[in-house]
Amino acid sequence: MKLPKSLQEKLNKRIANNALRQLTTQSISRIDFSSNDYLGFAQSETIFNQAHQYLLDNNIKSNGATGSRLISGNHSLYNDAENYIAQFHNSESALIFNSGYDANVGFFSAIPQRNDFILYDELCHASIRDGIQMSHAKSFKFSHNNIHDLEEKIIKLKAHSGTIYIATESVFSMDGDVPNFEKMIQVVEKHNCYLIVDEAHALGVFGEKGEGLIQSLGFQDKVFARIMTYGKGLGCHGAAILGSHELRTYLVNFARSFIYTTGLSPHSVATILVAYKELSSNISVIKQLNSNIDFFNQTKNELNLTNVFVTSNSTIQCAIVPGNEKVKSIAKQLQEKGFDVKPILSPTVSEGQERLRFCLHSFNKKEEITQVLFLLSTIINNE
């Protein structure tokens, strides 16, 4: 059966704009500058084997969960993992969700109420925006990382009754930049707002033990909720929302993406727990990652590429190359030389803001970083 005409027209428009998304498999081994496996945990045999051994030692079957955690899927391992996560992050509680997407959708669709307001950074992740769309609260975006614009919008909303929630990210996935949390928290406290921070791309990267940006700054008690996603720095499935005991109880009762889904399997939860323990003990891998970030920034300066890249001190480094066709062409040239660098196209980013997205890892070698940036510089200079 053919697609309805309106749907086929939308696909045709994507094709015409050279922006059609497609699923591909990589048959050629390339140097990884594209995955979110920042610490190499996703490919760690040690973590995989330790997770399996943890289940054996505790006599827990590793097969899939059998239903919602409120019915039959809440195996005992969840308690061990959530208690460890809460302690690691200096939080009263933690509640595991199946993914970062589920966590954000669950939070924003359940917590803000009718007559409340949500102010969100204009570059917030799609999962935050989707959750906000499901909320009964009114929502408004503020200019990216613009504290002045944020405060102006808060002041306008304070004329109305209702709670004001502020949503942002500690590291933005398409720019790699961070907000000024010191100033943001001053504004939030001044106006009695509630701050929610998605730490998906900060876990495993910032802090002595990779605890995330908010905790490394000592602001964990000033944030209403932190969303920790495990498909990046921890290299496994799942996510957790950190906050008060009361917040956890509320989410268990009202977050639909938590209530109406099958819980993670015991092996998945054991992997989260073991990955956290590896994060606590393997400080050297975090230091190596941050050394690579510093080296990448140093090298792009030496090659006069600073004006091409968005300023970033995180694992995400983006070179702006306007135009879907042009950015795809440069990405293909890098890939043909053995570097797995992905193009980010519009409409994922705004038209004119298309980019090459470099993701850095602890296992990237300095010579690989030098080679890929030198190649990029050569291509750009010959354009």
- Mean pLDDT by groups of 10 residues along the chain of 383 residues: 92 89 79 97 94 89 76 89 98 98 98 97 96 97 98 94 96 96 98 98 97 98 98 97 98 97 92 96 96 98 95 97 95 96 93 96 98 96 81
Backbone angles phi, psi at 344, to 5 degrees: -110, 120
Distance from C-alpha of 136 to C-alpha of 128, rounded to nearest angstrom? 14
Rg (CA), the chain: 21
Question: What's the pLDDT at 2?
Answer: 87
Question: What's the pLDDT at 17?
Answer: 87
Which pair of tokens denotes residue 373?
């940036």
Peptide bond preceding 322 in cis form (omega within 30 of 0): no
Q: Are 254 and 241 in contact (CB under 8 A)?
A: no
The predicted model scores a pTM of: 0.94
DSSP string for 161-220 = -S-EEEEEESS-TTT-----HHHHHHHHHHTT-EEEEE-TTTTTTSSTTS--HHHHTT-G
Domains of the chain: 29-41+283-382 (3.90.1150.10), 60-281 (3.40.640.10)
CA 346-32-356 angle, 5° bins: 25
Q: Are 174 and 355 in contact (CB under 8 A)?
A: yes
The residues, any chain, with a CB within 8 Å of residue 278's CB and separated by 6 or more, are 41, 44, 46, 47, 50
Question: What's the pLDDT at 339?
Answer: 97
Question: What's the pLDDT at 381?
Answer: 87
Task: List % helix, strand, coil for the chain (3-state, nearest 5).
Answer: 45, 15, 40
Question: What's the pLDDT at 63?
Answer: 63
